[in-house]
Every structure is written in structure tokens, then in C-alpha cells.
Amino acid sequence: MNADKEKWLLLILLSLIWGSSFILIKKSLEHFTPYQVGALRVLIAGIILMPVAISKYKLFPKKHLKWLILAAFTGNFIPMFLFPIAETEISSTIAGIINSMMPIFVIIVGALAWKFETTQRQITGVIISFTGVCLLAFGGDDGAQFKLFPILLLLLATLCYAISTTTVKSKLMDVSSTVLSAFVFSFVLFLPSLISLVSTGFISTFTFNRENMIGLGFVSLLSIFGTGLAMMMNYRLLKVSTPLFASTVTLLMPIVAIIWGLLDGEKLTSLQFAGASVIIAGLIFLRAKTVVKK
């Protein structure tokens, strides 16, 4: 498969997986606290990927350790707590919509920190798509749920994702996608997530009853697919495309989040349908390649 086809396939698959993560967070919060959901999400991914990390330990990028740590905490630790905390006050659909701000942050962080250049066509595509996101946000029946504090938390999480994405693209592209994911979750984040989970009292209070096992099932799905597998795919997407293109997955995720919302009893308005169409239109503009200064 050539790089152009692969990047669009990865974009669609990631949109489906990550777009479903918001409803999984919502369901997980029915059983555990936001801090337990965040810690479990990272810890389970670390356990699953531990065999890969151990078998490939000689490939650990020691010379890029500081960049690995930066990418790990901004992309795979801090946001894992911020999203569940925010979703205790706003809907999973709105969380998915706010997350679509990521391409804007990628442009800003890329320009300021890494001297990335983007074409006018790409910027136009992002603006068009974000206009569609706004239609999705304000076209729903739950617009009253917009609250300042959770929105600020989500914006901070999205900024963290942008920092991680641009760091990986700039400094860690010589590490394979699978190995990079394994190192991030099993070597860098395993201990911090374990400490976080212990501090919540989860280990001392958890019992194997029906409700807890259902909750653990939701978190496990979120961790295995929405975290471990998705991050491998995301790192691969960064290899075959640009940070801006990879970040446009967040423009498709709200569509998936809204579909899950419908299945969970939420309503979808005609204005939100229009917003989804505008998002797709904006993505057409993003076929132009991003030029990165060496």
C-alpha cells in the first residue's frame, strides 16, 4: 500500500477508535472515579505492551530519552486524566467536539517550537473543518452544558496532544511505531500510572463484584483499543504523513462521538448533520502536503 492510501486508511480507523473512546470514558465513569479511569487506562496498556518492550529493550532510544518522556506525558498520561475529569461535567459528545481543536494547536506549536510550515490550502482546510465542528457544538440540544472549567481542561489536554504529536514527528521518527508505543506505556508511564492508581485507593477497595467487572471491561476496551493499539497506529500515521494531517483525525472523531451519543439516547439535529458535512469538506483541502524545514 502506498503512503497516500495508508495515511487515509489510518485516519479513518483512528477516527472510529478514538471517536468511540469518549463514550467508553463515560461508561467507565459510571463505575470508577476520573483518576482511577485515567490510571487504569495507562496501566493496562503498559501491561499489554510489556512483552514487546522487554523483548525490544536494546532499541530503547536513550539519546532521545528527554523527548520520549515529553511525548509520553503530554500525549499519553496527562490527557488520560483530564478527559475523565472534564466528562464528569459535560457530555462525551461535547468532549469529542472540543478535542477537534487539535489541528489548530498543531499549527501553533509546530510553528513556534519546531518551525513547521503549512500551506495556505491546509490552513484553509482546518478552518473550514473547525467551522463544521462549531456547527456540531452549537447545533445540539445540550449546548447549555458548556462550562468554562471542563472546557479549559479539554483545551489543555488537546494542547498536550499537539505537543506530543509534533515532538514525535520531530525527534522520534527513527523508532518503530510498535516499539515506541511499548516503551512509552511500559517503561516511561508504567510506574507513574501504578502510583496514581494506588493513591486513589483502588487496589485496597476493589472487589470482584458484577459492577466493578463491567467497569473494568469498559476501561480495558478503552485501554487496549483506544490507547495501546490507537497510539501504534497514530505513530505510524505520523511516519507516513505530517503532524497537521495526523491531527485532522480529531475533526472526524466528533462524528463518531455523536453517533455513539445517538445510540446512547442523545439527539442529533439537522444543524449537526450540516456540521459533519462541512468537516468532510474541509478535509478535502488537507490533501496538500506539509513542508517541514530541515
- The gap from C-alpha 159 to its chain's centroid, in whole angstroms, comes to 11
- pLDDT tens sequence across 18-40: 999 999 999 999 999 999 999 99
Residue 104: pLDDT band (50, 70, 90) is confident
Q: What b/e readout covers 174-184, taking b as 16+ CB neighbours within 10 angstroms?
A: ebebbbbbbbb
- pLDDT tens sequence across 45-103: 999 999 999 999 888 888 889 999 999 999 999 999 999 999 998 888 878 888 888 88
Q: Bridge partners of 117? A: 291
Percentage of the chain lying above the pLDDT 70 cut? 92
What pLDDT does 195 receive? 97
The least confident of 6-10, 39-43, 152-156, 267-271 is 267-271
- pLDDT tens sequence across 191-226: 999 999 999 999 988 999 999 999 999 999 999 999
Mean pLDDT of 261-279: 78
Q: Would you state the cell numbers that stand for residue 27, as one nine-digit string?
A: 461508561
Full DSSP string of 43-90: HHHHHHHHHHHHHTGGG--GGGHHHHHHHHHHHHTHHHHHHHHHTTTS
pLDDT, mean over the chain: 86
Residue 116 has φ and ψ, to the nearest 5°, of: -70, 145
Full DSSP string of the chain: --HHHHHHHHHHHHHHHHHHHHHHHHHHTTTS-HHHHHHHHHHHHHHHHHHHHHHTGGG--GGGHHHHHHHHHHHHTHHHHHHHHHTTTS-HHHHHHHGGGHHHHHHHHIIIII-EE--HHHHHHHHHHHHHHHHHHHTSTTGGG--HHHHHHHHHHHHHHHHHHHHHHHH-TTS-HHHHHHIIIIIISHHHHHHHHHHTTHHHH----HHHHHHHHHHHHHHIIIIIIHHHHHHHHHHHS-HHHHHTHHHHHHHHHHHHHHHTT----HHHHHHHHHHHHHHHGGGSPPEE--
Q: Would you state the cell numbers that stand for residue 12, as one nine-digit string?
A: 479513518
What pLDDT does 294 receive? 38
56, 57, 61, 65 alpha-carbon torsion, rounded to 10°: 140
CA distance 21 to 19: 6
Task: Report the amino acid identity of residue 25.
Answer: I
Structural domain of 204:
3-292
Please give the tally of structural domains in the chain: 1
Mean pLDDT of 271-284: 78
Residue 115: left (phi > 0), alpha (psi -120 to 50), or beta? left
Q: Does the structure show a pLDDT above 80 at 266?
A: no
Mean pLDDT of 128-154: 72
Mean pLDDT of 115-122: 76
